[in-house]
Amino acid sequence: MSQSVDRRASVLVDTNVIIESYRTGSWAALAGGYRVETVEDCVTETQTGFQLRRPEQLIVVSKLRASLAAEHCVGNRERAELAIQSQGIALDRGEESLWAHALGRDDDWTLCGPDRASLRCGVRLGFRERIVSLEELLKRVGHRTKRPLKSHYTEAWLKTVLSDLVLAENVGGANG
């Protein structure tokens, strides 16, 4: 898990984090506290299932885009490079695009997204130390959520899952 999140560094977020941040009334604190970036596919995914959300949880795409430090478009070449390195991991389109984008970066960044397949991908790619929980990000900007975060957005959950994935992927072991 990330030991320290530099507030000047980019924080890459997946669809789930965006939705949970809206659900808990935390998006403004997150986007105001960090250089929050995502990919086009994650922005598109925020509109899936919108009819099932309460009015305060609706995500207006134009407002979301305006609050982001950057929204990246990912091409087939980047996805192919990721596919070679993450064989056997079933990522959804947004997570696939987010990790494909992350692979091409050479700056300081962290990634926030609670999906187990995405976390497995990050561990396999050697980015375990760049993965951070939504809870940690919000704590670091001094934000308390209006509603409690779901468990898989917490530091404790992330620590447990990452430990399990490191063992499963045999990262750092004799064969790793």
With beta carbons less than 8 A apart as the criterion, state whether 49 and 87 touch: no
Is residue 56's pLDDT more than 80?
Answer: no
Is residue 16's pLDDT more than 80?
Answer: yes
Write out the two tokens for 107.
């700056």
**What angle, rounded to 10 degrees, do the helices at 93-103 and 116-124 form?**
20
**What angle, rounded to 10 degrees, do the helices at 93-103 and 76-85 form?**
90
How far CA 53 is from CA of 3, 19, 67, in Å, comes to 34, 10, 21
Write out the two tokens for 118.
């995405």
What is the average pLDDT across 86-100?
A: 96
Mean of the per-residue pLDDT values of the chain: 91
Please, what sign has the CA dihedral across residues 35, 71, 132, 80? negative
Specify the 3-state DSSP secondary structure of 104. coil
Q: Where are the alpha helices (DSSP H) in 11-151?
A: 15-23, 27-33, 40-45, 61-67, 76-85, 93-103, 116-124, 134-140
Which pLDDT score is estimated for 171?
Answer: 63
Q: Which amino acid is at 149?
A: L
* Residue-range domains of the chain with CATH: 10-169 (3.40.50.1010)
Is residue 114's pLDDT more than 50?
Answer: yes
Q: Report the percent of the chain where pLDDT is more than 90.
A: 83
pLDDT in tens, 59-71: 999 999 999 999 9
